[in-house]
């Protein structure tokens, strides 16, 4: 390469580097989503929906290992979508943790704890955490309405109602439409002892 062309290339590269640094925001901002979701852009939710379909098919035939791999991929592709978090938590709590599915209390407890952990993570990751927090409130209401001997978690009815109220309050703070009223009603139940 000729020295003039090399110098012009260096000037061009330096100018591009300066323009990039000069146009960067003064405060670093956290990018939403994962690398995969940012790479796929507007197609990430579609790819995630395909993975959720695969999850549902694998879970339907009892292939849990394959199902959860699809769920991981779906959440990797669209972590900011609240629907994925609530769907997976629903599967863990109401399908896998169901007394109809297993009579083993330890297994039921494990699945309910997994579902609640999914919802906690979803509240942190989702663009709109309101529906995820609302779903958590619904899970705690379902626990509050179970008999002591059937309840998957070792919490009292009052504690379940109180946790439901807390979750609904977080959902209301995130703008979920009926969450404030649900929080008020759950708080009344908690104060009355369930």
Q: How many domains does the chain have?
A: 1
Q: Can you give the pLDDT at residue 23?
A: 47
Residue 112: inside a domain: yes
pTM confidence score: 0.79
pLDDT (tens digit, 9 = 90+) per residue, 72-84?
Answer: 999 999 999 999 9
- Residue 78, Cβ neighbours under 10 Å: how many? 28
pLDDT (tens digit, 9 = 90+) per residue, 14-59?
Answer: 555 554 545 444 444 445 567 766 777 878 888 899 999 999 999 9
Residue whose pair of structure tokens reads 């990430």 in the numeric block: 44
Residue 134: inside a domain: yes
For residue 64, give both structure tokens: 């849990």
Residue 6: inside a domain: no
- Which domain, by its residues, includes 145? 104-194
Calculate what percentage of the chain has a pLDDT beyond 70. Answer: 83
| Average pLDDT taken over every residue of the chain | 86
- Residue 170, Cβ neighbours under 10 Å: how many? 20
Residue 67: inside a domain: no
DSSP string, 79-103: TT-HHHHHHHHHIIIIIIT-TTT--
Q: Can you give the pLDDT at residue 28?
A: 42
Residue 158: inside a domain: yes
d(CA 151, CA 168): 21
pLDDT (tens digit, 9 = 90+) per residue, 112-141?
Answer: 999 999 999 999 999 999 999 999 999 999
């Amino acid at each position: 390469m000729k020295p003039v062309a090399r110098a012009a290339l260096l000037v061009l590269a330096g100018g591009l580097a300066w323009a990039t640094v000069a146009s960067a925001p003064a405060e670093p901002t956290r990018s939403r989503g994962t690398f995969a979701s940012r790479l796929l852009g507007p197609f990430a939710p579609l790819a995630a929906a395909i993975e959720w379909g695969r999850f549902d098919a694998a879970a339907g035939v009892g292939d849990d290992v394959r199902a959860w791999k699809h769920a991981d991929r779906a959440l990797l592709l669209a972590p900011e979508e609240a629907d994925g978090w609530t769907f997976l938590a629903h599967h863990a709590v109401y399908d896998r943790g169901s007394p109809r599915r297993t009579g083993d209390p330890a297994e039921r407890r494990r699945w309910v704890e997994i579902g609640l952990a999914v919802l906690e993570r979803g509240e942190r990751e989702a663009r709109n955490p309101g529906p995820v927090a609302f779903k958590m409130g619904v899970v705690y209401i379902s626990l509050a309405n179970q008999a002591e001997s059937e309840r998957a978690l070792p919490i009292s009815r009052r504690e379940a109602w109180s946790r439901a109220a807390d979750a609904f309050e977080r959902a209301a703070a995130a703008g979920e439409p009926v969450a404030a009223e649900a929080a008020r009603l759950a708080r009344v139940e908690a104060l009355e002892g369930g």
